Structures are given as C-alpha cells and as structure tokens.
Amino acid sequence: MIEFLLLLLLVFFPFGNLFRIPLNNGITVLPNDFILAGLFVVFIYNVLKKRTIHNTSLFKAIGIFLMVAALSLLLRIQDIPFKDFIVSLGYFIRFILYLQLLFVFQFVHKNFIKKYIQYMYVIGVVIIIVGLLQYFFYSDLRPFVYLGWDEHYLRLFGTFLDPNFTGALLVLFLLFTLGYSQSKGAMKAEQFVIIASTLLAIFLTYSRSSYIMLLLSSTTYFLLSQQIKKIGVFFIIAITIFIIIPKNLPSEGVNLLRTASINARQDEYKKALVIIKDNPLLGVGFNTLRYTRVRYGFSEPQDAAGSLSTGGFPNSLLVVAATSGIIGLLGYLNIWRLIILQTFRQKAYIRALILASIIGLFTHALFENTLFYPFVMMWIFLLIGVFGKHANDLGL
C-alpha cells in the first residue's frame, strides 16, 4: 500500500495546482494532501507493527520542533476565532504529513527505490515539457487574478501557476538530473537535451531568485561531486541559453531590472521583524500568519480569505521565527543540520545532490516562502527519503 500511495503522489505531482480544491475561509487543499493522509495512516500502522523507526535522531529533532510549533499555536487559541484556529491547525497537520516522506521508504522494498528514482526523473521531464508548452501557448495568468493568483504575463509558470516556485522546482530537478546522469556514468545525449531544456525553462520563468538559486546550487553540486572541469562547460551552455531568451517584452515581470518586487519584499521583511520583535520566544502560533497580518494591519480582512500571498512572508526563516519564535527557529534549523550531517555518509554524488539542493532551497527561501511550499516540500523530502536508507548498498 505504501508503494502504491508513493507512486500516486508522483502521478499527481505534474498537475501542480490545477486540481486545487477550494474550501471555506479561502483555504484550498490538493489531491496530494489526501494521498499523504492515507499514507500517514499506513505509515503509523507499520511503525507500530514493527516497533521501529530508522533515523531516530532526526525523528526526535522533528518531534521537538513539532512540540514547540504546537505549543505556540495552542497558546494563541484565545487570540483568534476558533474557525481560524482550525485552519492554522490544518497547516500544522499538513506539515506533519509532508515530513513523513523522510521516513516512509524504510518500509518499501529495495528494488522499488531504484524504480522510484527513475519515476522521479520521468516526472521531472514531464514538468519541463508541460512548462515549455505553457510558455509558448498560454503565458498569461492575468485572467485568474480573481482566484488569488498573481498577474504573471509572458513567463513560464507551469501547472504550479507561479514562476518563482516553478523556477525553484526546475532547479531542483536540474540538480536531480545531474546526479542521475552521474550515477549512470557518461552523460547521454538524451540527458544533455533534458539539462539544456531545463535551463531554458528556468530562464523563461524570469525569476531572479531562481537564477541565484541556479548559480549557487549548480556550482555547489559540481564542486562537491568533484566535477570541477564541467563547471565551465555548464555555465557556457547556461549563458548561451540566457542570451537567446527574449528580454524586451511588454511585461514588467520579464524586466530583470524591476525594482517593485524588491521594494515589496523589503516592506514584508520589516513587517515580519515587527511581529518577531513583539513575539520573540514562541511567535504568534504555527501557522496563524494569515490572521496575524490582519490583526497588525498588514493585510485587509478580505485578503486573508482570498489572496494566496498573504499567508506568510517572502522568507521562510522569517516565517518560522514569526510563527514559532526563536525557539522554534532553532528547532527547525536543527532538523536541517541533522539532515546535512547524515548526507556525509552517502556517496559523493548523492551527498553533492542533497547538499546542493538544500543550499539552493535556503537561498531561494530568502526571497520566497519556499521551504513551506507544498510541492517543494514534497520533492525535497522525497529526495532525502529515497536516498536515505538503501542508497549505498543498492549501488546508487
């Protein structure tokens, strides 16, 4: 059952936000949320049945952070309406559902892991193809502003309907492809085409945060995987593709020198710091930001239920600090510290892949709430989980 549900996650992954299900109070759920809920039931059953959980240090660290996050939320139960508390609790539960992906692969067959890595590769290719088709045939998101989406125009946003998060996912897949091709030996022509296509897709998002993520994470990958000679070739290809993409289009989002988004982010950072200053230890509750912003006058009441961009801040670490305080932030960073330490037990290319992905994500998370974006969480936790248990003895 676990294997079936894990496969089902990948089946729905390329559909992105197309199948979002709207609920009351402006909240939406994804098909993957239901799949993860079913997976969690089976996962807990297996844990109780076998009375074991691998990677206990990471499991305990996650438990500590979740207790802090839960406490921060419970302490705010009197400060927000009960229906808003339930919504915030839902975000907390969703986060737990995604975290289980770090551990579920201990209950699947070794051969399934090999196949699953191949399936992840295929799904990434599908996302690239769909993204490029979207860009060339329908690059206008403005008609869907009434649904809460930003008015992106002449940019690649894929089925995730956001060029910034799509860019982050594309960079993660690019790193995955680099690692996948290295594990197979010499790079094949097919993999070269996919890498070039991924670079094209990344540049067509016109997402500067994704560009920075690409620069830092790809450099990290080549250095850690001891492929220094390939850095020059890779960046020659990347720069060539960047030069040929159109830049003088009638869209502010395509202007790489635009300053409006920079100023908007700076304003959001200041707002986050105000909340953190007022609630330094345990924050305002995980994740009550959608309603806290209204209480502070940072958002309009109608935006809390309608806009997709008012549920946090464009910086994941500020989100953690604001919602669970400095204590929560330290606990959250400790989770990633343990994940990073455990990668040093892996082969060089796996270590390079995971570390480069984490460095890239934390870079991107300085500009967006990337670390809590559902599809990013799904991909990075699947990546860490699938390479966690049997990677070395499978010859991966």
From first to last of its 396 residues, the chain has per-residue pLDDT tens of 899 999 999 999 999 999 998 877 667 899 999 999 999 999 999 999 887 787 789 999 999 999 999 999 999 888 888 888 988 999 999 999 999 999 999 999 889 999 999 999 999 999 999 999 999 999 999 998 877 788 889 999 999 999 999 999 999 999 999 998 888 776 778 889 999 999 999 999 999 999 999 999 999 999 999 888 889 999 999 999 999 999 888 888 898 988 888 999 999 999 999 999 999 999 999 989 988 888 888 887 766 555 555 578 999 999 999 999 999 999 999 999 999 999 988 888 899 999 999 999 999 999 999 999 999 999 999 999 999 755 555 555
**How much is the pLDDT for 396?**
55
Q: For residue 63, how many other CB atoms are within 10 A of its CB?
A: 12
DSSP secondary structure letters along 325-361: HHHHHHHHHHHHHHHHHHHTTS-HHHHHHHHHHHHHH
Q: Radius of gyration of the chain from Cα atoms?
A: 21
Domain residue limits, the chain? 2-267+286-386
Distance CA 304, CA 289 (A): 9
Of 220, 170, 203, 199, the C-alpha closest to 375 is 170
- The pTM is what? 0.94
List 140's β-bridge partners, or say none.
153
**How much is the pLDDT for 51?**
75
Long-range contacts of 33-41 (CB under 8 A, 24+ apart): 33/94, 33/97, 33/374, 35/5, 35/8, 35/9, 36/9, 36/94, 36/97, 36/98, 36/100, 36/101, 37/97, 38/5, 39/2, 39/5, 39/6, 39/9, 39/97, 39/100, 39/104, 40/96, 40/97, 40/100
**How much is the pLDDT for 395?**
54
Torsions phi, psi for 29 (to 5 deg) = -125, 160
**How much is the pLDDT for 148?**
77
Torsions phi, psi for 312 (to 5 deg) = -170, -155
Distance CA 374, CA 377 (A): 5
